[in-house]
Amino acid sequence: MHITDIMRGDSPMFSFEFFPPKTMEAAETLYQTIRDLESYMPHFVSVTYGAGGSTRDLTHDLVERIQRTTKLDPIPHLTCVCHNEEEIEGILLRYAKSAIGNILALGGDRPIGIAYDKSRDSFQHAIDLVRFIRRFNESGAHPDRRGFGVGIAGFPEGHPATPNRLLEMDYFKAKVDAGADYIVTQLFFDNRDFLDFRERCALANIHIPIIAGIMPITSIGGLKRMAELAAGARFPAKLLRALERCQSAPKMVRRVGIQHALEQCDDLLHNDVAGIHFYTLNRSDATRLIFDSLGIPRHRSAQASSV
Catalytic residue set: 17
Residue 179 Rama label (left phi>0; alpha psi -120 to 50; beta): left
Closest-CA residue to 58 (of 30, 89, 97, 86): 30
Whether 30 contacts 48, CB under 8 Å: no
Residue 147 Rama label (left phi>0; alpha psi -120 to 50; beta): left
* Euclidean distance between CA atoms 96 and 148, whole angstroms: 8
Residue spans of alpha helices (H) in 48-204: 56-69, 85-97, 126-138, 165-177, 191-203
Q: Please state whether beta strands 182-187 and 44-47 pair in parallel, antiparallel, or not at all (unpaired).
A: unpaired
Q: How crowded is residue 5: how many other Cβ atoms within 10 Å of its Cβ?
A: 13
Whether 143 contacts 99, CB under 8 Å: yes
* Euclidean distance between CA atoms 198 and 274, whole angstroms: 10
Closest-CA residue to 231 (of 93, 55, 108, 89): 108
Q: How many CA atoms within 13 Å lie on the side-chain side of 62? A: 28
